[in-house]
Amino acid sequence: MNGLQPSALFVPEIKPLLAQRRYKELKQDLQEINPSDLAEGWDRFTPFEQVILFKLLPALLAMELFEELEPTQQILLVSTLDLTALGPVLETVSPEEASALFHRLPERTVRRMARVIRQTQSVRLGRDLVFPPQTAGGLMHTDILTLSPRLTAQQGLDQVRAASRLHRMGDLNVIYVTDEQGHLMGSLSPRALIAAPRDMRLSQFMGPVQLIKIRADLDQEEAAKVFSKYKLIAAPVVDSDNRILGVLTVDDILHVISQEATEDIAKMAGTTAEELEEASPGRVARLRMPWLITTCLAEMVVGLIVHRFEGVLAQVIALAGFMPLIAAMGGNVGTQSSTVCVRGLATGHLVPSDWKRLARRELLAGLYMGGGYGLAVALVTWVLYQGRFGLAFPVVVGAGVLFSMTLASTMGAVQPFLLHRLKIDPAVAVGPMVSTLTDLLSVSAYLSLAWLSLSLGWLG
């Protein structure tokens, strides 16, 4: 009985009351349960039951319970409950906890909270004036434990246990060692702390942190590249004087990677990440129209080119039937090539000096794919038309496919690097540029080759 947890006593009593909706009795019973004990057994209730229990608690007990809950449990309540009713509870949360909570919530929920919770909003805005949301400082956790290098391993373990019991620290991935002024001196893993001799000083077995420090003003995307490059689980965030301010974990970075990927995908579609969540029809149109106008103008030029070759098409009308295929194959290949390069530049796996290597690789890849598909299309064309327009007809169609796919694959690799050099976000411009230029050049080459074949008497 000595090891029996309090939750084992009250959970069996609360469950039937919840099932029978005897909320009046349940409200009275909840007032007799310590918020810390209730938080300990919180996971034994379903999300629906948790929301009901939280609503039944008096305001003071609800505030104490909220502070004891894990971040994921807090997020569930914030995302589910009426924010107007939850506002007074959130205003009691410390600035550090509030910041950590805000950065884990969807932007849409944060905006709603900012309109309702004045005090919490001012706390967040105050932090963001120092560390904007898109930086490592705005993303970091400040609930960390630091140890003095003069402590022994046993003293360090005692401090870790005490901080864990009092919920004064976040995930225990890495423990950081600092001097009295908070300057970062080293780090050690919980395993190393446990395995070290009890009387050994931390300064004797702590590891260096010179390669994994992250400046608080570093952009969150650059911080994600550091995590990816060094395969980190956690990293300290420091100021310009090497004083530790907080810590970033891999969970935070995964959120950043997901967010940046969503933004890049939205940009490649000619829109923004916000539009994917909520926007009026008019705003949707305004966001998409600029690049669509560019595409429209370019395709009008394609129309003029086709008009220029009306005589060729009039003599061999079957040529027109393959123009959509040639343009589509080039556009698809260009999109594939540009997506790989844009993502590589965004994640840091590619650098500007890689452009020659990528261009050569994509040129050869385009030749292989274009040659294979061009040959297949030429054979199908020969079978379908049974040589009616001569041998030159399938050759012209196959060559058009070859040229379109090779050109598009090469441009898809080169253009992201060119736009990056010009300080233009490749995710925004590369999609329309690849598709429109591919259409212009491939249709021009296709019809020019057909005109030449007609002039030489090979086609007709």
Residues 6 or more apart in contact with residue 129 via CB below 8 angstroms: none
Distance CA 459, CA 315 (A): 9
Cα atoms in the Cβ-side hemisphere of radius 13 Å centred on 357: 6
Nearest to 235 by CA among 260, 217, 267, 210: 210
What's this model's pTM, rounded to 2 decimal places? 0.51
Distance CA 199, CA 70 (A): 34
Residue 265: per-residue pLDDT: 58
Give the residue ranges of the chain where pLDDT is below 70. Answer: 1-5, 82-131, 133, 165-171, 209-211, 258-280, 283-284, 287-288, 291, 347, 427-429, 460
Query: Do the strands 234-238 and 214-215 form a parallel or antiparallel pair, or are they unpaired?
Result: parallel
Tokens of residue 261, six digits: 């990927």
Residue 369: per-residue pLDDT: 95
Distance CA 302, CA 444 (A): 8
> Is 445:322 a contact under the CB 8 Å cutoff?
no
Exposure class string for 26-56: b at 16+ Cβ within 10 A, else e: beeebeebebebbbebbeebeeeebeebbeb
Distance CA 250, CA 14 (A): 37
Domains along the chain with CATH numbers = 7-132 (1.25.60.10), 146-262 (3.10.580.10), 278-455 (1.10.357.20)
Residue 113: per-residue pLDDT: 60
212 φ, ψ (degrees, to nearest 5) = -120, 10
Residue 402: per-residue pLDDT: 94
